[in-house]
Amino acid sequence: GDDTQPTNLLIEAGTVIYGESATNGFLVITRSSTITAEGTATQPIVFTTDLLDGARARGSWGGVVLNGRAPINACTDGATDCEAEGEGGTGVYGGSNAADNSGVLKYVRIEFGGTEVSPDNEINGLSLNGVGSGTEIDYLQVHMNLDDGIEFFGGSVSAKHLVVSAPGDDGLDWDLGWNGNVQFAVVQQQSGGGNNGIEADNNPDDYLASPVTDPVFSNLTLIGDPTSAETNFGVLLRRGTAGELHNVAIAGFSSGCLAIRDPETYDNFTSGAAGLAHARFVCDPAFETGTEEIPFDAGADNEIIPDLELQDAWNTGSPDFRLGSGSPLSAGGVVPSGSFFTAASYIGAFDGTTDWTEGWTSFAAN
């Protein structure tokens, strides 16, 4: 698109899109335009590199970028319609339409992306830049991306059934006033990369910028690499982010399952603008120093346990994130209110029966 006239990119189920590796190819859907990429469990739509199997690696091409007209908080001057330039020079995003529609991504896999356009300027697997609530995202995997798996830069888009596997940086990242919902998401780190399972900010330059980052999550499984030498938290909340995390299972992160930083972030927990409930932690140490009191607020139902007892969550080639027999996650989940959320009485992204990743995901090493 041209950032003005409406244009729709229609991609049929079963299509493979090859991002060229020679000059850092990537796909951008500009503001006012949409993408309709609706695959199926047996015919997913795949965005991948043009390199042959065996030669593929993180950063072999760019990624997918959606630029929308939903509000962001990147402006510090109080302008009504804040706008920003996307990472990697991927265009302008932001506006005043919270219900903006960038299209549909369903049964989609994005793999081996994240090329470095310039030093320290990489493309996320999926960048959601000021994307509005009219956009539909369901059953989406980002695999082997050099930078973050999925990053929400402001906006109000929601999503279900997300898989981020083997990210080179964070699994899920959000900032700049994002206030959507997510249910059923899993992050699996693998050796050779990976930072935090979740890295969450408000605005890195103004921790009190409005609209405040304020998403609601339910049913989240975060699987870390306990051998990682990098800073490696399951969830890192900082720089004034608000938001709620419900029914979260975290294990294997070498720096800790949870870190909460900055007075503005703590103030959000004190005021009730942020919350963590029905979470289970399996990390050593469990929390970054100073964070310990938050998980055990009255009524939060958060626990440190010895094992999540998942079926095969650390298998990097063919993982099974479902609950094992007798898993302590099989009960105790309480889903937030609202029509977006599906009833689920368990903790984490999976029950013990249904593997919603089957058929359309891939965990290939190269």
| pLDDT number for residue 75 | 79
pLDDT tens per residue across span 9-54: 999 999 999 999 998 889 999 999 999 999 999 999 999 999 999 9
| pLDDT number for residue 89 | 87
| pTM attached to this predicted model | 0.97
- Measured CA to CA, the distance from residue 6 to residue 298 in angstroms comes to 50
- Measured CA to CA, the distance from residue 180 to residue 243 in angstroms comes to 10
- Measured CA to CA, the distance from residue 326 to residue 219 in angstroms comes to 18
- Measured CA to CA, the distance from residue 325 to residue 212 in angstroms comes to 41
* CB-facing half-sphere around the CA of 71: CA atoms within 13 A: 15
Contact 234, 265 (CB under 8 A): no
- Measured CA to CA, the distance from residue 62 to residue 39 in angstroms comes to 21
Contact partners, residue 33, CB within 8 Å, separation at least 6? 1, 6, 7, 8, 9, 102
In sequence order, which ranges of the chain are alpha helices (DSSP H)?
Answer: 263-271
C-alpha angle 66/71/73, rounded to 5°?
A: 105
- Measured CA to CA, the distance from residue 44 to residue 339 in angstroms comes to 27
The alpha carbons of the chain give a radius of gyration, in whole angstroms, of 19
| pLDDT number for residue 79 | 57
- The type of residue at 230 is E
The structure tokens listed for 172 are: 């899920």
Owner of token pair 């992204």? 349
pLDDT tens per residue across span 79-124: 567 999 998 889 999 999 999 999 999 999 999 999 987 777 789 9
- Measured CA to CA, the distance from residue 139 to residue 161 in angstroms comes to 5
Note the maximum CA span of the chain: 55
Pairing of strands 121-122, 116-118: antiparallel
| pLDDT number for residue 78 | 56
- The type of residue at 86 is G
Residue count (the chain): 366
Contact 249, 280 (CB under 8 A): yes
| pLDDT number for residue 32 | 97
- The type of residue at 44 is P
SS3 label, residue 13: coil
- Measured CA to CA, the distance from residue 295 to residue 311 in angstroms comes to 26
Low-confidence ranges of the chain (pLDDT < 50): 76
